[in-house]
Structure 1
């Protein structure tokens, strides 16, 4: 089983980029980590169709208040004000993945779009963000999310139908 996560990066990501948890590029998580035996090409085809669908487009959002996330409430995040576009894209991505037979057992019912503050950067209240692409990240090793590799990246709303 491989683990993946779907994100909306603040800056475009390149297929093949790798990073540790400390180096994770700033992003909004669109679909929480999930496991599947399907390979990245199959996932990529489904997600490219979501990114290139007629309703998909670059999303401009404003950064709101800070909050503390995590089991111990010790992870600083900046909440993102979603006018509905992130939620709609999330629904489409979840539907596409479930259509492949993937059991998305860790989906949060109380999903709150946010950007986690990192040592290398963060966003601040009032910032305006342009979320222009969707990326598929392979998490390694399978039992953790400490390392990631970009295995697919697609601009939003440009009629994509192929892999990234």
Structure 2
């Protein structure tokens, strides 16, 4: 089984980009990590169709208060004020992944969109950010020591090309 996560990166990511946990690009997680035996192409097709929908366009949001996340409340995040667009996109992504056959989706009922602060950058209260890309990340690919590889990256309203 492979593990994946669906994110909204703050800057576009290219298919094949790899990074460690410390180097994760700033993003809002749209669908929490999940495992599946489905081929990545199946997941990419489902998500590409979502991103290219006629109603999909970049989401502009404001950054709100900081909070502490994680089991020990030791991970600094900045909450993102969602006017409903992120929630709707999240529901659509979950529905498409389930329709594609992903059985292990366990979306959090207390989902709060946020951007995790990293050593290489963070967002701050009052910042406006534009989320214009949907990306599928393979977590801990077996052929590399890296912790994430971009398998698909689609601009909203863009072409339905599937990543490698």
Residue 87 of structure 1: aligned partner: 87
Structure 1 stretch displaced more, 103-112 or 12-21: 103-112
Q: Would you say the 8 A contact 1:49–1:162 is kept in 2? A: no
Residue 66 of structure 1: aligned partner: 66
State how many pairs are aligned: 160
Question: 1:16-68: per-residue Cα shift (whole Å, max 9, x none)?
Answer: 00000000000000000000111211110000000011221100000000000
TM superposition score normalised by structure 2: 0.94
Q: Does 1:41 align with 2:41?
A: yes
SS, match of residue 8 in structure 2: strand
Q: Does 1:27 align with 2:27?
A: yes
* Structure 1 runs not aligned, ≥5 long: none
Question: 1:94-128: per-residue Cα shift (whole Å, max 9, x none)?
Answer: 00000012123431001100000000000000000
Q: Report the Cα distance in structure 2 between the residues aligned to 1:51 and 1:139, rounded to whole angstroms.
A: 21
Q: Would you say the 8 A contact 1:26–1:115 is kept in 2? A: yes
Q: Report the Cα distance in structure 2 between the residues aligned to 1:36 and 1:91, rounded to whole angstroms.
A: 19
| Structure 1: 4+ residue segments shifted above 2 A | none
Q: Report the Cα distance in structure 1 between the residues aligned to 2:36 and 2:26, rounded to whole angstroms.
A: 25
SS, match of residue 149 in structure 1: strand
Kindly tell me: are residues 141 and 161 of structure 1, through their superposed partners in 2, closer, same or farther at Cα, counting changes over 3 Å?
closer
Q: Would you say the 8 A contact 2:141–2:149 is kept in 1? A: no
Q: Report the Cα distance in structure 1 between the residues aligned to 2:150 and 2:105, rounded to whole angstroms.
A: 22
Residue 57 of structure 1: aligned partner: 57
Q: Report the Cα distance in structure 1 between the residues aligned to 2:55 and 2:34, rounded to whole angstroms.
A: 25
Structure 1 stretch displaced more, 21-30 or 39-48: 39-48
How much has 1:141 moved relative to structure 2?
4.9
